[in-house]
Amino acid sequence: MADTAKVAEKEKMTIVVFSGELDKALAAFIIATTGASMGMDVTMFFTFWGLNILKKNEGGMKSKGFKQKMFSILNRGGSSRLKLSRFNMLGLGTWMMKMVMKESHYPSIDEFITMAKEMGVKLIPCSTTCGMFGLTENSFRNGVENIAGAAFFVGEARKSKVTLFI
């Protein structure tokens, strides 16, 4: 109970991760892990294309319904398939970005997800868009929290010192 009280006193940061691009995902994880390292209680709420970041890197054609299946072919997801929002150039820009990150000894998105988890950042898929895209809790990698709805997000955001939509 003393512990719960202590957590409740931490300043909160809430980030909606709407975008599924490599650069925006990086920005979101840099801010989230920095916040956590400064003692904040950080929640990342993944919705729309942002859900791709948390999808398993395997095939994962598990979505139900015909249109959802078609969508999931287009929109395969998994942290290793993210592309840049600019200069993707059939993959060349994305590949160069990944090289630059590696050379600068910069963590990959996979490493950022692991780091974030270890620092206590909560990674939550949005239930509304999961329904739209035919995703279930099985679609996501280990360590992801239970899916939750927009009301959960708004509840967190109104208690937060910092709320971002990325």
- Determine which helix (DSSP H) or strand (DSSP E) holds 44, and give its type and residue range: strand 41-46
Output the CA–CA distances (angstroms, integers) from residue 82 to 3, 24, 25, 38, 98, in the order listed. 38, 10, 9, 28, 11
Pairing of strands 12-17, 122-125: unpaired
* Residues near a second copy, by CB under 8 A: 11, 13, 16, 18, 20, 23-24, 26-27, 30-31, 34-35, 37-38, 40, 47-49, 65, 67-68, 70-71, 74-75, 85-87, 89, 93, 96-97, 99-101, 103-104, 106, 128, 131-133, 149-151, 153-155, 157-158, 160-166
Question: Which residue(s) pair with 136 in the sheet?
Answer: none
Question: Which residue(s) pair with 165 in the sheet?
Answer: 16
CB of 1 to a second copy, least distance (A): 26
CB of 43 to a second copy, least distance (A): 13
Q: Please, which residue, 51 or 142, has the CB nearer to a second copy?
A: 51
CB of 24 to a second copy, least distance (A): 7
Q: Please, which residue, 95 or 117, has the CB nearer to a second copy?
A: 95
Length of the chain in residues, anyone? 166
CB of 142 to a second copy, least distance (A): 26
What single DSSP character describes residue 43? E
